[in-house]
Amino acid sequence: MTTAVHLDGITKRFPGVVANDDVDLAVEAGTVHALLGENGAGKTTLMNVLYGLYEPTAGDVYVNGDGLEPDGDGGYVDAPRTFDTPSDAIDAGIGMIHQHFMLVDPMTVAENVTLGNEPNKWLGLAVDRDRARREVAELSERYGFDIDPEARIEDVSVGVQQRAEILKALYRGADVLILDEPTAVLTPQEVDDLFAVFDELTAQGKTIIFITHKLGEAMHAADDITVLRDGENVGTVDAATTDRESLAELMVGREVLLEVEKGPADPGAPVLSVDGLTASDDRGVEAVSDVSFDVRAGEVFGIAGVDGNGQSELVEAITGLRTPDGGRVHLDGEDVTDWSRRERIDAHMAYVPEDRHERGLVMDFDLVENGLLGNQHSAPYARGGRIDWGRTREHAEEIIETYDVRPPNADTSAQSLSGGNQQKFIVGREFSRDPRVVVATHPTRGVDIGSTEFIHERLVALRDAGVAVLVVSAQLDEVRALSDRLAVIHDGRIMDVVDPEATTEEELGLLMAGETPETVEADATDTPPDADGAEPSPGANANRGGER
């Protein structure tokens, strides 16, 4: 089989950081190759080298079989490629779909796909819009994308936007498609649709490289999986013959507990109550609409949903960072709707924010100072208006040791830490507040598997100690595993509150897409059983390696 991409000894250094260290990678044409690893493992950097966004410090790039025939002296017959810009990579048949889409919302699908490469008429004096629509429609039909070329990007779903990005790369002649964390903003149904697109593309000879940190996705969709750890390639495996435990050990370097272990909840009285809450976003547009729920002592209440459906505004209204337009928030029966963030901290409301840079840390402060945030007026860190810096340093060092923050130096500035270590420090600070309620948004975002395991254990331990825990996460598998009760939010409204153990991923996906509970229940009832009489699970035909 022809090798579509061969990276030979790629090293990429930034000041003080080796992002990729002598990485080799071979991707066979017509296959799906997953690049798996934790945040900060060097996955995106490696693909940015392939796409011409970064120049490698050392190493060579070969495309479409270049340089793969040995010359007898340990070298290659053909010269490697040099991509000074993404345009060079595109000319060589490499396309990249970034995690954050690069589309113009008011423009149509056809206008976005052809932008910068529009077909012309009248000797180049005008854009041939009819031809553009026709070519995009033909390309969409060829790959089974089912996209209306005249639909405006602002009016279509996130899944359709992603397919428009893929069409844009195909329109420019891409044979190798790189997708960076492509499922981060998709519902489960849209994830299945994306993997069906992978099948169609590879059936027509295209090659897919997709970056992910999710074990299940890599095993589900890929033929081969390469694992990066600390910037190094630690192994390439066949997706059909590996398992989650082996992949996790490759990613972390030790055995990891992948499942959230928790016993039944023993919930008490409501600690946090949200009643008819309505809130607007920064543009003044209503983002949260009449939301009500209780979080009881000794339970984890989860909120699942695709990012951008009002989660941020809801959490900010609960924690005192946004003034709601209507409704009330109660803590232990007391109305705290008009309380400041400081007053809520004093009332033992801990908060792990969505944006660690904007809400969680002062980036120029060292860890001693960041560990003090929210406690600067309280004993034992302050007495008589004076800060006890000795006790404050001890507190920071306790967080660093307990949560394995690296480097383990309390005098280190927050901005010098990786994103994952910043997150670990914030989680440690908030969990140490002796909380009555914890509001945790994306608590393990950017954190390695080992630390994720530890944070999950601490959340369950807080629950078992009688703390009310609210977890908001776009990672459905995480919030589903942690939650005792699970609410699904769409377009600022709670669609339903369900038992996560008794609700399928498919049903949750329908709720996340805005289906009503009645429609979801009807769909579940109407689903025909398979040949063995069991309900088919999402992705039952999933493992591509198994099919091949």
What confidence tens digit (pLDDT) does each residue in 191-206 have? 899 999 999 999 999 9
Q: Which residues are bridge partners to 382 per DSSP?
A: 387
Q: Are 86 and 96 in contact (CB under 8 A)?
A: yes
Contacts of 108 by beta carbon, 8 Å cutoff, 6+ apart: 149, 150, 151, 152, 153
Give 179's Cβ-side CA count (13 Å radius). Answer: 32
335 and 237 both lie in a single domain: no
Q: Are 53 and 94 in contact (CB under 8 A)?
A: no
The answer to whether the bond into 380 is cis (omega within 30° of 0) is: yes
Q: Are 61 and 7 in contact (CB under 8 A)?
A: yes
| DSSP state at residue 360 | I
The per-residue pLDDT for 77 is: 53
Tell me which residue of 422, 14, 13, 41 sits closest to 251, measured CA to CA: 41
304 and 424 both lie in a single domain: no
Residue 82, domain CATH:
3.40.50.300
114 and 151 both lie in a single domain: yes
The average pLDDT across 449-468 equals 91
In this structure, of 72-76, 91-95, 231-235, the range with the lowest mean pLDDT score is: 72-76
pLDDT confidence band for 73 (50 / 70 / 90): low
166 and 311 both lie in a single domain: no
The average pLDDT across 95-106 equals 90
Instruction: Flag whether pLDDT at 27 surpasses 50.
Output: yes
More confidently predicted of 358 and 499: 499
The per-residue pLDDT for 183 is: 85
CA distance 204 to 201: 5
245 and 184 both lie in a single domain: yes
Instruction: Flag whether pLDDT at 545 surpasses 50.
Output: no
CA distance 53 to 90: 11
Pull the structure tokens for residue 469. 């825990």
Instruction: Flag whether pLDDT at 320 surpasses 90.
Output: yes
Q: Which residues are bridge partners to 413 per DSSP?
A: 366
Radius of gyration of the chain (CA): 25
In this structure, of 63-67, 84-88, 449-453, 475-479, the range with the lowest mean pLDDT score is: 63-67
Q: 292 to each of 298, 377, 456, 497, 513, how far by Cα in Å?
A: 19, 33, 26, 11, 20
Q: Own/partner pairs for 154-157, CB < 8 Å, 24+ apart?
A: 154/105, 154/106, 156/109, 157/190, 157/513
Tell me, yes or no, whether 538 lies in a domain.
Answer: no
220 and 88 both lie in a single domain: yes
Tell me, yes or no, whether 161 lies in a domain.
Answer: yes
Number of structural domains (the chain) is 4
In this structure, of 33-42, 285-294, 485-494, the range with the lowest mean pLDDT score is: 33-42
Which one of 225, 258, 291 terminates a domain?
258
Tell me, yes or no, whether 440 lies in a domain.
Answer: no
Tell me, yes or no, whether 497 lies in a domain.
Answer: yes
Q: Which domain holds residue 378?
A: 349-433
CA distance 336 to 272: 10
More confidently predicted of 529 and 150: 150
Instruction: Flag whether pLDDT at 327 surpasses 60.
Output: yes
165 and 192 both lie in a single domain: no
Q: Are 361 and 428 in contact (CB under 8 A)?
A: no
Contacts of 358 by beta carbon, 8 Å cutoff, 6+ apart: none
The average pLDDT across 365-382 equals 93
Helix %, strand %, coil % for the chain, to 5?
35, 25, 40
CA distance 344 to 101: 37
In this structure, of 116-125, 160-169, 222-231, 340-349, the range with the lowest mean pLDDT score is: 116-125
Tell me, yes or no, whether 450 lies in a domain.
Answer: no
166 and 180 both lie in a single domain: no
CA distance 132 to 116: 12
38 and 133 both lie in a single domain: no
Tell me, yes or no, whether 542 lies in a domain.
Answer: no
Instruction: Flag whether pLDDT at 243 surpasses 80.
Output: yes
Contacts of 40 by beta carbon, 8 Å cutoff, 6+ apart: 418, 419, 420, 446, 448
Give the β-pairing of 232-238 and 126-127.
unpaired
How buried is 358 (Cβ within 10 angstroms: 0-12 exposed, 13-18 middle, 19+ buried)?
Answer: exposed
The average pLDDT across 55-60 equals 95
46 and 187 both lie in a single domain: yes
85 and 189 both lie in a single domain: yes
Tell me, yes or no, whether 10 lies in a domain.
Answer: yes
